[in-house]
Amino acid sequence: MALTDTFTKTAKHSGKPAGDKHSDGGGLYLHVTAAGKYWRMAYRMHGKQKTLAVGVYPAVSLAQAREARKRAKAQLAQGIDPSDAKREAKAARATEAANTFEAVALAWLKATTAQRTEGTSERARTWLTRDVFPSLGNRPMGSIGPRDVLAVLQKIEARGALDTARRVGQTVGQVFRFAVAAGLAERDVTTDLKGALTIPQKNHHPAITDPLALGALLRAIHDYTGTPTTVVALKLSTMLLVRPGELRHAEWSEIDWDTATWSIPAEKMKMRAAHVVPFPRQAVELLQSLQPLTGSGRYVFSSLRTANKPMSENTVNAALRGLGYSRDVQTAHGFRATARTIMDEVLNERVDLIEHQLAHGVKDANGRAYNRTAHLPARREMLQRWANYLDTLRQGQT
């Protein structure tokens, strides 16, 4: 006889040690014990008698227990053991709950560190921590859809950071592809967002290319009263043609005083190829002035807060703003364009040497990439001429 809601609610334990079993048919029964009421289902699988734990009453109602029986019957008809299926589903839910977006993203950062420069890794971590984790960090990967990611990116767009929104979307996509490869997600949901974001207008890094205007900027830098690390970073930015991230991540261990060179490992370079920077005399003097202050630590330009991290990526740009040069006039990265233009058009330096010093993908006559020490003597002489020329501009000469 089928059970009723009233009977299920009022049924009491008779005192029997094994409890009381009340059948609802089809193998489903209510097991009433001193500890509580439990739904169970008896079935046979491969000739063996087995029992499926359906749930606890009243958390699982009579109607819900019957639905569970229906699903179990369907599984049996397909040759699936309901107990095994339940156990696997529980394990899958546990795995899904443990594999939140934040957990997977941090695992991706760790696993792919060697593929990025240190600065790129820092930016990716900052974007995830600041913009993505607050909304999606605690969500299982499988529960995140395209609209969830789009909502995050639109918040970034709303504050005017169009390029950042695009880059964050690319980063989230990389996390999803990592999860797909690890069997933690079915697909990269960011592929559905193509065309959904505003495309930022590409702009070159603002840079002063007029020698007289550059002379004025050099005099302003010479008179700048910021911290010693910022002053040296500003001056070397004008002199060495390296990217801002490469400069601020410079380590004392990478500098060879005997040969006056700085060897930047491949993992710190945008092109993933090791690079050697020869120092002109002025650069050596600047670094020697800074060594008593930061030489006992890892980074040449260490953070003011901790010697274990480099200075902020905004430090040099903030100094330029403090000198009265807006982001539309000159940026830290723009110093590369400043040097590239003036060295070519004014000083008539060899373009291939300039490009190699910029760590661009220069190739030889046979189409092969130059190695990191290619033309080092010639590049050293070129940078010395450039440093001397900067001194003449700062002194008001042309």
Catalytic residues: 243, 270, 333, 336, 360, 370
Residue 324 CB burial class (10 angstroms; 0-12, 13-18, ≥19):
exposed
Angle at 270 between CA 267 and CA 276, to 5 degrees: 70
With beta carbons less than 8 A apart as the criterion, state whether 180 and 149 touch.
no
Which residue do the tokens 């900052």 mark? Answer: 126
Helix, strand, coil: what percent of the chain each, to 5?
A: 50, 10, 35
Is 29 in a helix, a strand, or coil?
Answer: strand
Torsion of CA 62, 67, 70, 72, to 10 degrees: -100
N-term to C-term CA, the chain: 106
Q: Sign of the C-alpha dihedral, residues 150, 153, 158, 162?
A: negative
Distances (CA, A) of 398 to 214, 217, 249, 300, 395: 11, 14, 33, 32, 9
Q: Taking the CB of residue 6, how many other CB atoms lie within 10 A of it?
A: 9
List strand residue ranges (DSSP E) for the chain, in order: 20-25, 28-32, 37-45, 48-57, 255-256, 261-264, 275-278
Interaxial angle between packed helices 62-77 and 82-98, expressed in degrees from 0 to 180 and rounded to the nearest 10 = 110
d(CA 317, CA 231): 12
Contacts of 18 (CB under 8 A, 6+ apart): none
Give me the DSSP letters along 69-110.
HHHHHHHHHTT--HHHHHHHHHHHHHHHHHSBHHHHHHHHHH
Q: Which two tokens stand for residue 31?
A: 């097991």
